[in-house]
Amino acid sequence: MKKRPMLAALVLVALGVVIGAAIVSFFGEDGVSSAFAQMRKRIELGSGQPPVKIESSAQILNNAFVAVSKAVNPSVVTIAVVTERKADPRMKQFENFFGFRFFGPNQRGQRGDPQQRPDGDDEDDDSQGFRSQGSGSGVILTGDGFIVTNNHVIEDAKDITVTTFDGHELKGKLIGRDELTDLAVIKVEPKSGVNLTPSFVGNSDEVQVGEWVVAVGNPFGTLQSTITSGIVSAKGRGLSGAGRNPYSVENFIQTDAAINPGNSGGGLFNLEGKLIGINTAIATRTGAFQGYGFAIPVNLMRSVVEDLLDDGKINRGYIGVNITSVNEATAKALGLDKVSGILVQDVIKNGAGKAAGIQEGDVILEVDGTPVKTSNELQGLISMRRAGDNVNLAIWRDGKRITKTVTLKARDDEKEITAEPGRPSAPNDKETDSAPVKFENLGLTVEPLTSELRRELDVTAGVVVSKVTPYSEAAKIGLRPGAVILKADKQSVQSAKQFKDILTAKRGQAVLLQVKDGNVTRLVGLEVSRQD
């Protein structure tokens, strides 16, 4: 009987040795001691408390960004497209030269360098073009599947795929697009288990420079549902340059929230989660974000979308004038008490403005009671009206404020129309002086027109600019050799001597000049030095 307890004890000892050996072999001798040490006491990493106690106001702002990010992310989608278009090398040249980038799925690709192949690689493709893949962003506007994006994202798209915030893929169908505002509407059909969260559309007129905003989109086609933050850094920005459609509507909200390729068509939101803009372009010399992005105001977006949903096309109204913003010299020349308003450079024949009595040299101060300071602002306000709408314009003319009611017309009425020259008959060559006249302090030299120059330049009166000194007052307002000064201080210029007399009478003031440069006729203000 005594042998059994002894045998059991030996078995237990042997078992303990085996288990101990296993533990040592697994952890090592140091590991065993470390493991047991961790059992006794947890290792503390770092200091015992954060070095800074955040102020309640900062915590509130932090919470606001967290809340708006959670709220708006589901209303922004990724849009993947397969496009087919003819190669157009001009756009890249214009973008690189002017430093503005309008992202699109081909040469303005959303995934860095897009995957392109000649359409000739497919027997059904046009050998003159390219097929490419790219992506952008979009914002859900309705629960039944209408989505707004940029025109340049879906332009020439053969296939559109929409991916929601929670990863569902839906086929998209183009409803309508507007090249002039760079907006488009697509439609997806919701399927079972997919909830589409529409955004809350705000009022871009209430947006203030300096307020916090977040940009939401899918940069580079891979970083889906990305939130970046910044402020509204400016309003009423225009990006027009060579290669851009002269009728393009550009009244952008500028922001320093990071926007990159793939963000196009995404949303710009304020801290209340209100959609205030559709991201569309950046100012860049590298093709990627360098500090400033541009968004289409939602009030303009709303107008375009309503038109597209109504009948798939835009019924935009036009005044029928060529315009430019008023600068300081022009304001002085016209007797304005401040630098504000839009100068009418030209009035289109048979256009709405002509019918309402708008004249060259008028300054548009207000549209339906809303002051306008830049041509972009005027363009933005008018673009939200339809053909047939009446607008009341407050106008500065001959030192007085008057009001004109304009019934807007569609642009189709004005396609083949040119501006009225309104030039007087040509003077006799014998009446003109032959000697050039130099204005030293203005950096300007003018010469009389010969009969040959009149025929060549298609003018009947004026003086031709023969020399402009770099960085002079004349250079600042865009005068250059070959341009013809047709009028000065609203008087038709018949000779170089007369032009000199007009400027002499305006010493220390500003004078309004009508200048023809190539095929373009414009009005500019020139400040006249007291010495000339």
3-state secondary structure (DSSP) of residue 23: helix
Contacts of 103 (CB under 8 A, 6+ apart): 109, 110, 136, 150, 152, 153, 261, 262, 263, 264, 281, 282
CA atoms within 13 A on the CB side of 247: 14
Q: What is the 3-state secondary structure (H, E, C) of 26-90?
A: HHHHHHHHHHHHHHHCCCCCCCCCCCCCCCHHHHHHHHHHHHHHHHHHHHEEEEEEEEEEECCHH
Residues contacting residue 281 through CB under 8 Å, at least 6 positions apart: 100, 101, 102, 103, 239, 252, 264, 293, 294
Q: Tell me which H or E stretch contains 151.
A: helix 151-154
- Structure letter (DSSP) for residue 431: G
In the structure encoding, which two tokens stand for residue 288, read together?
A: 């990627």
The catalytic position among 152, 156, 178, 346 is: 152
Under DSSP, the state recorded for 124 is T
Measuring CA to CA, which residue among 175, 126, 129 is closest to residue 154? 175
Does the annotation count 264 as an active-site position?
yes
Q: Of 119, 156, 182, 346, which one is the catalytic site residue?
A: 182
Contact 360, 348 (CB under 8 A): no
The token pair at 47 is 């200091």
The C-alpha atoms of residue 159 and residue 312 are separated, in whole angstroms, by 19
- For residue 356, what are the CA distances in angstroms to 167, 353, 406, 439, 532? 54, 5, 5, 40, 40
Who's near 319: CB < 8 A, 6+ residues apart? 351, 352, 353, 358, 382, 391, 393, 406, 408
Six token digits for residue 246: 């002269």
The DSSP annotation for 445-470 comes to EEEEPPHHHHHHHT-SS-EEEEEE-T
Give me the phi and psi of 349, to 5 degrees please. Answer: -60, 140
Query: Beta strand pairing status for 226-237 and 274-283?
Result: unpaired
> Choosing from 75, 132, 264, 375, which is the catalytic residue?
264
Neighbouring-strand partners of residue 186: 147, 174
Residue 17: exposure state from Cβ atoms within 10 A (0-12, 13-18, ≥19): exposed
What whole-number distance in Å separates Cα of residue 143 and Cα of residue 68? 20
- Beta strands in 129-168, from DSSP E residues, in sequence order: 129-140, 146-149, 157-163
- Whether residue 182 lies in the annotated active site: yes
Query: Coil, helix or strand for 100?
Result: strand
The residues assigned a catalytic role are: 152, 182, 264
